[in-house]
Amino acid sequence: MVIRRLLRYLKPHYKALSIASMVLVFATFADVIGPILVKIFLDRHLVPRSFDQQALWLLGGGYLGLHFLSVGLHYYQLVSFNRIALKVIQALRVDVFKHVQRLGLVVFDKTPTGALVSRITNDTEAIKELFVGVLAALVQNFVFLIGVFIAMFSLDVRLATFCLALLPAILGLMVVYRGVSTKVYRIMRKELSRLNSKLNESIQGMNIVQAMRQEKRFKEEFAGINNAYYQSNMTNIRLESLFVRPAVDVIYTFALVLVLNFFGIQSLQGPIQIGVLYAFINYLDRFFEPVNMMMQRLSQFQQSLVAAERVFELLDDRRLTRAVNDVGAASILDGQIEFKNVSFSYDGGQDVLKNVSFTAYSGQTVALVGHTGSGKSTVANLLMRFYSVTRGEILIDSVPLTEFSEDELRTKVGLVAQDPFLFVGNIAKNISLSRPTVSEKQVGEAASFVQADEFILKLPQGFEEPIGERGATLSSGQRQLICFARTIAGNPKILVLDEATASVDTETEEAIKTALEKMRQGRTTIAIAHRLSTIQDADLILVLHSGIIVERGRHAELLRTEGLYHKMFMMQQGTL
């Protein structure tokens, strides 16, 4: 199954592969013919003592000519096989990366980042050896074996038949080695993935590691995983040391002894042909050389297959943000949002949201408030279709959320996440994100709209100021403002603000509130807020507790009921 899927990636390159394989066949036959030429010279000239200098020159010239021809052909096939392999891996990596981008957040919640990186990089790199080393070696050694057997049968049918009988023993050895090594390689790839995951986690959280003086503990944990990877490698080395060469050498030695005995017994009955003896021993050695090569490549073959299993396992993950064949035909026009008895569970057991129902009419601002873990951000995640609803339904303009295409949903619904994320590049690119609909002028207008231009223009290169990974050189408030400008630049119909003002100071917060008032005109806004002062003018405030809407209404109405909202507001005002 895995090999069949790999061959699909190889299909566009069948023509180039066929040419490279034919070149390899010619190069292999050039290698095989050499001993035949020596045998002819020995039998015709050296043994009868009819030395012919011209024949020696022809032999030497022909042997050298075949050698140089073989070198040139091997060079061509090696470059060709590598080119094909790199193109296959290039296409596979793009497909895997494309698929990962379409996976739902539930996958990233449960899978360490380092493990995904390992599959996209290390595992695909291991697959490359299947095409570069294994495939080329398989073609070459198979052709070489055919040539050797043809030569052997032309020399002595009985001995050639005996060597042919050795093939079942060699094939049995390969089957046993493959069965044992597969388990070991799976453990190796798993431990390598764990190693990358721990490394990625340590680097991303280095400030916490150093602040909490956890260097020793993390070093010990990393050393433990590294030791497990070492042990799995040592197990693999022991297997290779037993099966790959020594076991084959035992069979070769046994075969060599029998061949020499055969010629020894023949010499008692009469003279033997020295040329035949030389050629047969040479071919016997050449017979086991490709066997040894194939045993060594079998190790790479197993590693490549295990790596391919892991890559295709990722490609087969159907936990997508939407169905693959659903192109979506609906359009978001008014931006009215309706949750109908929506329930959701991250783990399939405990519900985070329980029968949540509300309607955000076009142009309205609906605020979600509540204590940590009440389900506020989950509402935003479901609306953005990062997760699928467990029970109930979400509609936009009375159309089920699943009917909208990815492009329509991502274009018309703008998100400002709680954790401001910036990409490597500059400020302008982080605002525009290379969207064709966002011009340079709109980038400046969006930054000005959220008051971000005040600090951007003070930077040495302004909007062209370089940004490192995750925008580490900027303050959290500045990163949040850039993310806000990024969303506004897309001119969405619906705004989802997940603690959008959590990382800005009071003065900047007031400026953003002014900008939001303008943005809300003609747009539906879902605002998740911790600071209640930022949502007092919302058209509807929903108070969540343990995934249930316990209160709803406007700010003044909720204060009069003196419920949970009133208690939260008083606590933030410092009067409770």
Token representation of residue 354:
């329980």
CATH number belonging to the domain at 2-315, selected among 1.20.1560.10, 3.40.50.1100, 1.10.3300.10, 3.30.930.10: 1.20.1560.10
Supply the DSSP string of 138-163, one letter for each residue.
HHHHHHHHHHHHHHHHHH-HHHHHHH
**Does 323 have pLDDT greater than 50?**
no
DSSP type of residue 548: E
- Residues 444 and 518: beta-carbon distance below 8 Å: no
Which pLDDT does position 508 carry in this prediction?
Answer: 64
User: How many CB atoms are closer than 10 A to CB 227?
Assistant: 11
User: How many CB atoms are closer than 10 A to CB 41?
Assistant: 21
CA distances from 527 to 98, 360, 366, 376, 517 (A): 31, 11, 6, 9, 13
**Does 427 have pLDDT greater than 70?**
yes
pLDDT: is 265 or 243 the higher one? 243
Q: Is the dihedral of CA 375, 495, 508, 471 positive or negative?
A: positive
pLDDT: is 106 or 377 the higher one? 377
| Of 411, 416, 404, residue with least CA distance to 493 | 411
- Residues 541 and 565: beta-carbon distance below 8 Å: yes
Q: Quick: pLDDT tens for 437-462.
A: 888 889 998 888 888 888 899 889 99
- Residues 428 and 462: beta-carbon distance below 8 Å: no
Mean pLDDT over 532-552 rounds to 90
**In three state form, how does the secondary structure of 116-129 look?**
HHHHHHHHHHHHHH
CA distances from 513 to 15, 173, 263, 535, 537 (A): 63, 74, 99, 9, 10
Which pLDDT does position 554 carry in this prediction?
Answer: 93
Which pLDDT does position 264 carry in this prediction?
Answer: 65
- Expressed in angstroms, the distance from the first to the final Cα of the chain is 66
CATH number for the region 337-573 comes to 3.40.50.300
Q: What is the residue extent of each domain of the chain?
A: 2-315, 337-573
- Residues 308 and 6: beta-carbon distance below 8 Å: yes
pLDDT band, very low/low/confident/very high, at 340 (cuts 50, 70, 90): very high
pLDDT band, very low/low/confident/very high, at 393 (cuts 50, 70, 90): very high
Supply the DSSP string of 395-426, one letter for each residue.
EETTEEGGGB-HHHHHHHEEEE-SS----SEE
Q: Quick: pLDDT tens for 464-497.
A: 988 877 777 788 778 888 888 888 888 899 999 8
| Of 120, 107, 128, residue with least CA distance to 9 | 128
Which pLDDT does position 361 carry in this prediction?
Answer: 93
